Amino acid sequence: MTVSIWRRSMTLGVRSCDVAVIGAGICGLSAAAALTRRGLRAVVIERHSAGAGASGRNAGFLMRGAADNYWAACEQYGREVARTLWRVSEENLAMLRRAGIERLGSYRARPSCLVALTEDERAQIEKSAALLREDGFATEVIGAGGGEAPSDSLWNGALARSRGAMGLVNPEDACCNPVELVEHLRGLCGCPVLEGQEVLGIDDAGSALSVRMTDGVVNAGRVFIATNAYAGLLVPELAGVVTPRRGQMLAIRAEGRTLAMNYYANHGSEYFREGYDGTLVFGGCRVHREDVEVGYEDRPTEDVQGLIERFACEALGAERVDVVARWTGVMGFSPDGLPLVGSLGRGKGWNDRVWFCGGFTGHGMSLAHRTAAMAVEEMLGGAAGPFSLKRVM
């Protein structure tokens, strides 16, 4: 976005801090909190309002691991990397709990369940359960051939019965209203959050970096970029690395229907859970329209919304559902599905002073808080974390 001369005269002036954090989603606010804990002065700069990005629009699953099962992750990344991903997501929730998330009104300790509806996925779930146990992760298999499934609108419905559904349970997972989580993190970050301020550029100003934003400038020793899907708009080198992908969701009136767990089905393609005030929320179906669900446009499409509605009807055994809200969010996907953390190099006079953390590939609720803290440690000279940007740049 360009800035008119009239706007520039409404300047916030020049501020100084140790680290300027760009983006007030879960990642940026968590990074700011980690910096404050280290005694550093941070300033968070957000172009809209805190949580305006994916962080305030997601399904609110605080889930261990990734959308697909552990066996699939071991196949894709190798056992050690998969184990690390699962561990980081467990640490993420543990850290959030220590940070007081259980006191949020919307927080629910609630298992997640990967529901397999095909023979192939059932086989993967059984292999996943064995691998998880070997690696020391608590899990349980329910439904066809496993333990007893809960009595709720999914397991009592026609879909689960007709397709012989089997579930892989993460017993220690949780969920919350992500907007409440963002507000909580904002309260923890202990530094100014400048909203309505788009960062337009980062310049070398000698001993400091000069972060130009809509109404002023922040001079900072370091810059931590947490703009996730929008990273390529600020740093063109990241455009081919972090891809903006749209996720769509809807909420329906529940009419006495319940869901005892937070569910993922069809290898994580569809996800659903109880909302608040008598709703159920459903999302996903993006994998059926991968070519279209790319870009920055915040607009639900009839096509994908129709697919989600159809899935909701199928899952609940209903002829139709009463949709009360529809929305979208833009996620930052990395090339291999793992987060990205690292310095953006020595060019432009940045001299390893500008760092990026993002690319959570649809799992920032489960990964960003812990990953941002590890990124801050590494930026300040600590040990390198597991998700180095160098693997793709």
Ligand X SMILES: Cc1cc2nc3c(=O)[nH]c(=O)nc-3n(C[C@H](O)[C@H](O)[C@H](O)COP(=O)(O)OP(=O)(O)OC[C@H]3O[C@@H](n4cnc5c(N)ncnc54)[C@H](O)[C@@H]3O)c2cc1C
Contact positions toward ligand X, by CB under 6 A? 22-28, 45-48, 52-55, 57-61, 198-199, 226-230, 234, 247, 249, 283, 329, 331, 358, 360, 362-366, 368
- Nearest approach, Cβ of residue 148 and ligand X (Å): 26
- Nearest approach, Cβ of residue 25 and ligand X (Å): 2
φ and ψ of 285, to 5 deg: 65, 5
Cβ–Cβ < 8 Å for 309, 250: yes
Q: Of the two residues 47 and 163, which places its CB atom closer to ligand X in the complex?
A: 47
- Nearest approach, Cβ of residue 175 and ligand X (Å): 8
- Nearest approach, Cβ of residue 51 and ligand X (Å): 7
- Nearest approach, Cβ of residue 49 and ligand X (Å): 8
Q: Of the two residues 12 and 144, which places its CB atom closer to ligand X in the complex?
A: 12
Closest CA to 338 of 29, 57, 88: 88
Q: Of the two residues 149 and 368, which places its CB atom closer to ligand X in the complex?
A: 368
d(CA 125, CA 356): 34
Helix axes 119-134, 70-77, angle to 10 degrees: 80
d(CA 294, CA 292): 6
DSSP string covering 345-365 = -SGGGTTT-EEEEE--TT-HH
- Nearest approach, Cβ of residue 47 and ligand X (Å): 4
Q: Of the two residues 22 and 149, which places its CB atom closer to ligand X in the complex?
A: 22
Q: Of the two residues 122 and 194, which places its CB atom closer to ligand X in the complex?
A: 194
Residue 2, classed as helix, strand or coil, is: coil
Q: Of the two residues 120 and 298, which places its CB atom closer to ligand X in the complex?
A: 298
Q: Quote the DSSP letter at residue 149.
A: P
Token pair listed for 151: 């009595």
d(CA 279, CA 276): 6
